[in-house]
Amino acid sequence: MAGLLNKLEAEKYIEKQNITKNMLVLTPEGLDYHNNGTPEFRLLELVMEGNLQDALKSKLGASFDIAKSNALGKKYVKVDAGQFKRNEAKPIVDEDKESLKNVLHGNVTADEIKQLKKRKLIKEESVTSFKVSKGPNFKTTFAKAVADITSEMLKNGTWKTTDFKSINFESKG
């Protein structure tokens, strides 16, 4: 698309202006957490259903260690007699999932950005868009400018309506 716009701009069919914005986007892991909840919150939900630690490992699979570490760190759960128990003092809210929703809606705080970047759930991407307007040679059809006039053009009169490339008389060589 950019190549076509550059070609049309060079022929003065259009005038364009580049607009570059940095945006926060979810990583694949962040998208999974947005859709399914964070591993620590999934662990909390399984604990609230009454699952024992062995069942938790089988249900969470490879994310069990991450879930356990983060759930204990955020005090969603506590260990009592070798089993996980819900921490009653902590409200049942998946804070990181809410932060990921905020990223998608564009109203995220600096602290949320810092926390999500630390966990590699979001990344910053540069997005370029173009503002396009009509140029001095604007036409609805594109015809490539011709460099030289030919004898055929002179015979059939097409030289009158043909666009020719401009000549640079100040070039050396």
The confidence band for 19, taking pLDDT boundaries of 50, 70 and 90, is very high
Residue 4 predicted with pLDDT over 70: yes
Q: Which residue has the higher pLDDT, 115 or 141?
A: 115
Q: Is 68 exposed, middle or buried (0-12, 13-18, 19+ CB in 10 A)?
A: buried
Q: Scanning the structure block, which residue is given the tokens 């564009």?
A: 106
Kindly state the average pLDDT of the residues 84-101: 83
The per-residue pLDDT for range 26-78, each reduced to its tens digit, is: 999 999 989 988 898 888 888 888 777 778 888 888 888 888 888 888 888 88
Task: Kindly report the number of other CB atoms within 10 A of residue 160's CB atom.
Answer: 6
Q: Share the mean pLDDT of the chain.
A: 85
pTM of the shown model: 0.64
Report residue 21's pLDDT band, with 50, 70 and 90 as the boundaries. very high
- Look at residue 167 and give its three-state secondary structure: coil
pLDDT in tens, 115-127: 999 999 999 999 9
Q: How many CB atoms lie within 10 A of CB 35?
A: 10
pLDDT of residue 118: 92
Residue 20 has pLDDT above 90, yes or no: yes
pLDDT at residue 142 above 80?
no
The domain locations on the chain are 25-120
Give the chain's length: 173
